[in-house]
Structure 1
Amino acid sequence: MSDFSFVADNAGLADSIASVAQCPVVMLDTEFMRTDTFYPIPALLQLSDGTSHYLIDPLAITDWAPLVALFRNPNVIKVLHSVSEDLEVFQRLLGALPRPLLDTQVGAALAGFGVGLGYQRLLDTLLGIAIDKDETRSNWLQRPLSDAQCQYAVLDVLHLMPAFEVIRDALEEQGRMSWWLEEGDRCIDRAEQQAPLEDYFRKIKSAWRLSPTDQLCLRALCIWRETVAREQDVPRGRIVKDAICIELAKRRPSHPGALSKIKGLTPSVIRRHGETLCDILAVDYRDDGQIPLEFPLNSAQKAKAKALRDAVDGLGDELAVPRELLMSKRDIEDSIRLERLAPGLDGWRSPVLTPILNEVLSVND
């Protein structure tokens, strides 16, 4: 059994933050529920300085100023594992994100321990510790939490400190600690710069297959869907699923009765949103020459993309860094289209990637 303090009032939060605020590094984790909502519902925050461990109850606390101050303290590094969903929780609950940030999943990949390691695998690989995840899908909004839930939650930060230390020591020996910090800053920058509503249609995988005018229609549908999902706090698919948005953009039914011919579009959705959908579909989306999405690479570009992918694979082997962390598939394709490094590949990546990209681009078609 691991000792911890359960924090369930404003005074307790202030005291717990005061106790860790002088430490150079703190561990953080969250538990949340997200079954029927657009936004995650914060259910528990875990905080540790490696010695003292706190389970913080967001259902009971109203004054988050001490934690916000800790998040904004540049002298305290905040360590989490696989941080993307945690950042959504923090943004929703606090309106603040932890900086400077180190993600142990990213750090493990940079240090050569493996890419995309889950927390269980991380602890097994780095520390030889086996933990179970039996409570992952339990009801974290129930009160009181069970002893099993509390023990599960505290282990997420209890073991994070020694895992962090192993990764830190490896990266310092490799001269890559600055890479890890840079990745944390990049992660926070992305989270703070929320994608505009106009870009959400790009997440639909088959959108590029549509004509330019149909893409513009799809973009309008997705802007509406995103707005409604946020306002009603329901998953996007509860409004209209991706595949149905594609069909609507292609077929453009002109009245609510015609919507029933779209496979998967239920009567309840048609009743609630039919007129609005038809209004969106009735707009004249003229092709103004601005193709919203890139077409697939042509044959010459595909050959160069393969050559670049192979070169990055070799570089990854040389550096013991997974290719996915050096350049994603999208990064590779964008770099070939632009004939320069894609946006976001600056910093530590630029000096290692620029020479191999230039070599690939210098080869005649």
Structure 2
Amino acid sequence: MITITTTDALAAFCEKAREADYITVDTEFLRERTYYSKLCLIQLALPGKDEDDAVLVDPLSDGLSLDPLMEVFRDESVVKVFHAARQDLEIFFIDHGTIPKPLFDTQVAAMVCGFGEQVGYETLVKRIAKEQLDKSSRFTDWSRRPLTDAQKTYALADVTHLRQIYEFLARKLAESGRARWVAEEVAILTDPETYISRPAEAWKRVKTRSAAPRFLAIVRALAEFRESYAQERNIPRNRVFKDDALVELASTKPQNHVDLGRSRLLLREARKGAIADGIIEAIKTGLNCPKSDLPTPDQSREKLQVNPALADLLRVLLKARTETAGVASKLIASSADLDAIAAGMRDVPALTGWRHEVFGADALRLCEGRLALAAKGKRVDVIEL
């Protein structure tokens, strides 16, 4: 097993990679104690079976620059193959400002090819490569050095089997003409906006029971402070204060440190110092927010007049169409999307792009009374009216 620890060795491997049709990539990282992921290991494999076609790259090695790998990531003549790429791509974008292109995500491709919902790598190895993975090293500390042989073997398996999986799925997509479907999904993964976390928008992830504008203004200010504080110090946002404490603070509106001391849910460390000062200032910001700037939640879907019978018919249609097409239903539409369509909304992803071909066009005709569904044994037939 080859472990690259110098820039020259990485550059030599990457020179070889730029002559290949594709390269498979995976990472090992830690995020339990930080806001941003700490990259601990990169696994790379090229087409072929030679020992030097699959390597480990140790980004924790002194003096190692990942610039040669970033050049490969930007080389559009080489396909970059990942499985469930989102977290890996976030690391490379945050650390190096680079998103690998062109990208092939085997989890997305597998969902399009009928392998089920969010199919795991281990399942694909078993079903396509006919191999078993030893996952005993999955939850080890990847930042500790030296790495054990078991860790290295586990890590390399995440890219060596990926070669066979990629080649199999790429053939399936070419045969079915569905490569464009995967490309539409991958476009979201390669959009930098996917990985940008703006403190001013953090409040939208906080679940609250009240939608009162002034209350939400305080929630917004607290969430913005917490996100900025966590980003600046690279600590998990829950280490600052958790969502339940945030909602409590927005409700009780403490004005000083004595008031903060009465909180039931606030961590002890947050009742003093910079966090306590930030909380008090954020609450003042929310209380003093001009009426014209008060936030309002998007309640458009909550006010929808859903036809429950039509929503149920859409669920049956989705099941019928995805079974015929061999595509995971969740990739096309969520339950909320189906309710929205049944309520008359048309700006729903299921009605655009490749989803329109598989399901959306028929869904609209069903809503317009131009399609009927008939059960025949275990089969559901779609009938033109």
Same fold (TM over 0.5): yes
Q: Quick check: 2:83–2:105 contact (8 Å CA) kept in 1? A: yes
- Judged with a 3 Å threshold, the aligned counterparts in structure 2 of structure 1 residues 331 and 250 are, in CA distance, closer, same or farther, namely farther
Deviations 1:252-296 (A, max 9, x none): 222222223332212321113223212221223455486233266
Q: Quick check: 1:208–1:293 contact (8 Å CA) kept in 2? A: no
Q: Which residue of 2 aligns with 1:76?
A: 78
Q: From 159, 162, 168, give the equivalent of 1:166.
A: 168
Q: Distance in 2 between matches of 1:231 and 1:23?
A: 40
Q: Which residue of 2 aligns with 1:29?
A: 26
Q: Distance in 1 between matches of 2:269 and 2:68?
A: 46
Report the alpha carbon displacement of residue 193 of structure 1 after superposing the two structures with TM.
Answer: 5.7
Q: From 152, 158, 162, give the equivalent of 1:156.
A: 158
Q: Distance in 1 between matches of 2:306 and 2:268?
A: 45
Q: Which residue of 1 aligns with 2:46?
A: 49
Deviations 1:204-233 (A, max 9, x none): 2x3364323222221221111110001111
Larger Rg: 2
Q: Distance in 1 between matches of 2:362 and 2:251?
A: 41
Q: Quick check: 2:202–2:223 contact (8 Å CA) kept in 1? A: yes
Pairing 1:320–2:326 present: yes
Q: Distance in 1 between matches of 2:311 and 2:241?
A: 35
Report the alpha carbon displacement of residue 346 of structure 1 after superposing the two structures with TM.
Answer: 4.0
Pairing 1:234–2:242 present: no
- Judged with a 3 Å threshold, the aligned counterparts in structure 2 of structure 1 residues 94 and 175 are, in CA distance, closer, same or farther, namely same
Q: Distance in 1 between matches of 2:212 and 2:104?
A: 42
In the TM superposition, 1:1-365 aligns within 5 A as 4-51=1-48, 52-60=53-61, 61-189=63-191, 194-204=196-206, 206-207=207-208, 209-272=210-273, 273-282=275-284, 283-285=287-289, 288=292, 291-294=296-299, 297-298=302-303, 300-301=305-306, 303=308, 305-329=311-335, 331-332=337-338, 339-342=345-348, 346-359=352-365, 362=368
Q: Quick check: 1:297–1:333 contact (8 Å CA) kept in 2? A: no
Secondary structure of 1:257's counterpart equals helix
Q: Quick check: 1:29–1:47 contact (8 Å CA) kept in 2? A: yes
- Judged with a 3 Å threshold, the aligned counterparts in structure 2 of structure 1 residues 129 and 193 are, in CA distance, closer, same or farther, namely closer
Superposed CA RMSD: 2.5
Q: Quick check: 1:316–1:323 contact (8 Å CA) kept in 2? A: yes
Q: Quick check: 1:10–1:63 contact (8 Å CA) kept in 2? A: yes
- Judged with a 3 Å threshold, the aligned counterparts in structure 2 of structure 1 residues 333 and 277 are, in CA distance, closer, same or farther, namely farther
Residue identity in the other structure for 2:94: R
Q: Quick check: 1:225–1:240 contact (8 Å CA) kept in 2? A: yes
Q: Distance in 2 between matches of 1:7 and 1:311?
A: 52
Q: Distance in 1 between matches of 2:191 and 2:351?
A: 14
Q: Quick check: 2:5–2:64 contact (8 Å CA) kept in 1? A: no
Deviations 1:5-33 (A, max 9, x none): 21110100100001111111110000111
Q: Distance in 2 between matches of 1:28 and 1:361?
A: 44
Greater displacement, 84-93 / 236-245: 84-93
Secondary structure of 2:56's counterpart equals strand
Q: Distance in 2 between matches of 1:269 and 1:302?
A: 47
Residue identity in the other structure for 1:219: R
Q: Distance in 2 between matches of 1:333 and 1:260?
A: 45
Residue identity in the other structure for 1:284: N
Secondary structure of 1:292's counterpart equals coil
Report the alpha carbon displacement of residue 138 of structure 1 after superposing the two structures with TM.
Answer: 1.3
Greater displacement, 169-178 / 207-216: 207-216
Q: Distance in 2 between matches of 1:336 and 1:24?
A: 45
Q: Distance in 2 between matches of 1:344 and 1:9?
A: 47
What is the TM-score of this pair, normalised by structure 2?
0.85
Q: Distance in 2 between matches of 1:8 and 1:238?
A: 33
Q: Quick check: 1:21–1:70 contact (8 Å CA) kept in 2? A: yes
Q: Quick check: 1:45–1:55 contact (8 Å CA) kept in 2? A: yes
Deviations 1:103-134 (A, max 9, x none): 11111111001221222122112222111111
**Number of equivalent positions:** 359
Q: Distance in 2 between matches of 1:116 and 1:83?
A: 12
Greater displacement, 301-310 / 313-322: 301-310
Percent pairwise identity:
28
Q: Distance in 2 between matches of 1:333 and 1:286?
A: 35
Secondary structure of 1:207's counterpart equals coil
Q: Quick check: 2:74–2:100 contact (8 Å CA) kept in 1? A: yes
What is the TM-score of this pair, normalised by structure 1?
0.89
